[in-house]
């Protein structure tokens, strides 16, 4: 009697995202992170939700770098909630490691803002996670999606768009 091993399903290849040193990741905003104990599980591996928190921090800092303070958005009644999120975990990150969270605004369509992410080693040789996030502009007072982005936000996002094309 032969014993068969259960077949393991394999994840599909991730194309250009497998090589973090590829031109695919050039000209992205970089946010450095060092893994803290509260971001890990008992085995010292980063908890999956920590990656999402880092991505949000990177996005907020990227916006700040072009003159959009999140507190100012809140003050004018504009919120940017996540409406779609897709994360692919490639390798584990461990307690004490330093990594870079790279982000870029991929596209703005009306009031939808799409962002790409890559979490890589500081030398760019290891890819730990890739993600895509979609935000929408929400009128926080009415609780409804805005018909268009506030002019100041639209102008600032155009700066990011221009940087990504260079």
Q: Catalytic residue numbers?
A: 41
Calculated CA dihedral for residues 19, 45, 51, 71, nearest 10 degrees: -140
CA–CA dist 28, 106 (Å, integer): 10
CA–CA dist 94, 41 (Å, integer): 10
Of 88, 84, 82, 80, the C-alpha closest to 15 is 88
Q: Residue 90's CB: how many other CB atoms inside 10 A? A: 17
Cβ–Cβ under 8 Å, residues 100 and 146: no
Cβ–Cβ under 8 Å, residues 117 and 139: no
């Amino acid at each position: 009697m032969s014993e068969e091993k259960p077949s393991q399903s394999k994840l599909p290849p991730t194309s250009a995202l497998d090589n973090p040193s590829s031109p695919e990741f050039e000209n992205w905003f970089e946010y450095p992170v060092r893994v803290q104990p509260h971001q890990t599980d008992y085995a010292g591996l980063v908890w999956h939700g920590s990656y999402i928190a880092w991505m949000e921090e990177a996005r907020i800092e990227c916006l700040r770098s072009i003159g959009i303070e999140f507190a100012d958005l809140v003050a004018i009644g504009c919120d940017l909630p996540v409406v779609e999120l897709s994360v692919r975990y490639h390798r584990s990150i461990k307690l004490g490691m330093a990594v870079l969270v790279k982000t870029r605004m991929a596209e703005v369509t009306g009031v939808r803002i799409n962002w790409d992410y890559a979490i890589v080693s500081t030398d760019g040789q290891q890819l730990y996670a890739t993600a895509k996030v979609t935000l929408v502009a929400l009128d926080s007072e009415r609780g409804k999606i805005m018909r268009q982005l506030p002019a100041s936000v639209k102008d600032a996002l155009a700066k990011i768009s221009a940087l990504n094309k260079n």
